[in-house]
Amino acid sequence: MKEDKLKVLFPDYKEIFNYFYIDFETGKIYDKKFWDRGYQKEVGRPAPSKGNYRRISITKNGKSKDVLAHRLIYYAYYGELPTSVDHIKEIQNKDAIFNLRASNGKLNRLKEQKSKRRKKSKKSKSSNKYVGIKKRYSYWWPFYKNKFISDKGFITEELAVNCRNEFLLKEYGDYAKENITQIDNNILLEHKKLQQIEEQKMSYINKHLFLKVKEQIKNEM
C-alpha cells in the first residue's frame, strides 16, 4: 500500500505546527512564518479534481507536495490519520474540526454520487419526485450505481424508495441515514397492502395463463 503523503511529510503530527497555524473552529490554515510576524496569510486553494476540496502545497527538505486541507486539519487535531476523512455536512466552514470524521472510501463515493444526483435532479424535468428509482412496465424499480437492486417492481414510488433505503442501510449502516429519503410509516403500510393485492392478482393471472398455454400445447399434440 502506498504511504500517505502527510505521513511521509510529517511522521510526527506535531511537526505540522512548525509550518502552519490552524484555527480548528473555522478550518482556516495560516502560514506560520507570516503568523509569527503578525500577518494572517491564509493558505490553500481549490482542487477541482478532488471535489473542489482545498489543497495545501508544502515544501520540506527541498521537495514540494500537495495535500488536502481537511486531512491536514484532522491529522493535526487528533494525531492520527485514517484511510479517509469525510465532511459531515456541506457548510460554509466545512473544514472546521467539528465537521470532519474518520471515514472510508466507500462512504465518500456514496456522498459523491448523492451530490451528482442532486445536481442532475435540479436539471431534470422528470415527474419522478424521488432519486434512485425508475418506472418500467408500469412498475417502479429501485436502482443503485445504474443497477437494479430488486428482483421485483413496486406499484408505488414510495415502496421502491423504501426498498432502496433498506439496501443502503444494509450496505453502509448508520452512514447511510443522512443519504436516504424517509417515507412515512403509515403510507408504507397502506402501500404494502396494495402491493400484496397486486401480487396476488398477478399470481392468479400468471397461473391461469400458464394453464391455458399448457392446455393449448396438449391439444396441438
pLDDT in tens, 80-106: 888 888 888 766 568 888 888 887 666
pLDDT value at residue 3: 63
Residue 167 contacts residue 180 (beta carbons within 8 Å): no
Return the residue matching grid coordinates 472510508.
Answer: 104
pLDDT band at 114 (very low <50, low <70, confident <90, very high): low
- Where do runs of H (alpha helix) occur along the chain? 5-9, 32-35, 69-78, 105-123, 157-172, 185-220
pLDDT value at residue 125: 38
pLDDT value at residue 51: 54
Phi, psi of 6 (to 5 degrees): -65, -40
CA distance 209 to 132: 33
- Where do runs of H (alpha helix) occur along 79-139? 105-123
* Domain boundaries for CATH 3.90.75.20 within the chain: 5-103
Between 121 and 12, where is the model more confident?
Answer: 12
pLDDT value at residue 123: 45
pLDDT band at 126 (very low <50, low <70, confident <90, very high): very low
DSSP for 26-58?
TTEEEEHHHHTTT---B--EEEGGGTTEEEEEE
The answer, yes or no, to whether residue 181 has pLDDT greater than 50, is yes
Mean pLDDT of 39-54: 64
Question: What CATH number was assigned to the domain covering residues 5-103?
Answer: 3.90.75.20
pLDDT value at residue 75: 92
The answer, yes or no, to whether residue 19 has pLDDT greater than 80, is yes
